[in-house]
Amino acid sequence: MLQPLSPRDKTQKQEVVVYHSAYGLRPAVNEFADKLRVAGHTVHTPDLYDGEVFSDRNDAVRKIQELGFDKLLERAAAAVEELPHDLVYAGFSNGGACAELLAATRLGARGAILMHAPLMLRDLGWTVWPSNVPVQVHFADKDPIKNQAVVDTLAVKVRHSGSSFQQFDYDAPGHLFADPAFPAYNAAAADLMTNRVLEFLERLGTATAA
């Protein structure tokens, strides 16, 4: 006789796109994606730099300037053209802009996960956040480039749409606290962030299965 499904079995798994930071598709991004895959989710990690990876901030900034921010956003959009519309968009730091833009403008988005983001970037061109697209934000409490006013502005737009907005701050020394190769790395904070992301995805799946 077939056994009834447990509540966890009934949770629908998500399809997630994870955009890398200004430093490129570093191993830490792939390791994060693998943790989501272990939980049963389908995860895509577009390489917007054609294989280039950086460790130095100046090199990363030069790459953004060379490529151009608009071109970066175009590449982010092109990376999902052949994918379903019911995606969860996630991004680290600069990649959070890609995730935010697509969650706001591509029909069918399931949610947005902004890690070390949103940052002080120029207007991304959207004004009204779509309903039923929850947002989760993660920042180190000592992040020197975190701007709470920017976070609060996004929170107001998301909540005004009727969607939920969560912000988590971590006891970590700096910006990219989830990458072991950077001085700001904090293993406990990185693990906690990953667990909260998994809980976010599980809630989305429970809502869909209900």
Looking at residue 103, what is its pLDDT? 98
Looking at residue 8, what is its pLDDT? 46
Looking at residue 120, what is its pLDDT? 82
**Beta carbons of 27 and 54 less than 8 angstroms apart:** no
| Residue 186 phi, psi (nearest 5) | -140, 110
42-44 and 15-19 beta bridge pairing: parallel
Which CATH number, 3.40.50.1820, 1.10.3210.10, 3.40.1800.10, 3.90.950.10, labels domain 15-209? 3.40.50.1820
In this structure, the chain runs to a length of 210
- Please give the chain's pLDDT, 210 residues, in tens: 334 434 445 679 999 999 999 999 999 999 999 999 999 999 999 999 999 999 999 999 999 999 999 999 999 999 999 999 999 999 999 999 999 999 999 999 999 999 999 988 777 888 899 999 999 999 999 999 999 999 999 999 999 999 999 999 999 999 999 999 999 999 999 999 999 999 999 999 887 665
Question: Distance of CA 70 to CAs 63, 115, 123, 143, Å?
Answer: 13, 21, 11, 25
**Beta carbons of 209 and 11 less than 8 angstroms apart:** yes
Looking at residue 10, what is its pLDDT? 61
Looking at residue 210, what is its pLDDT? 54
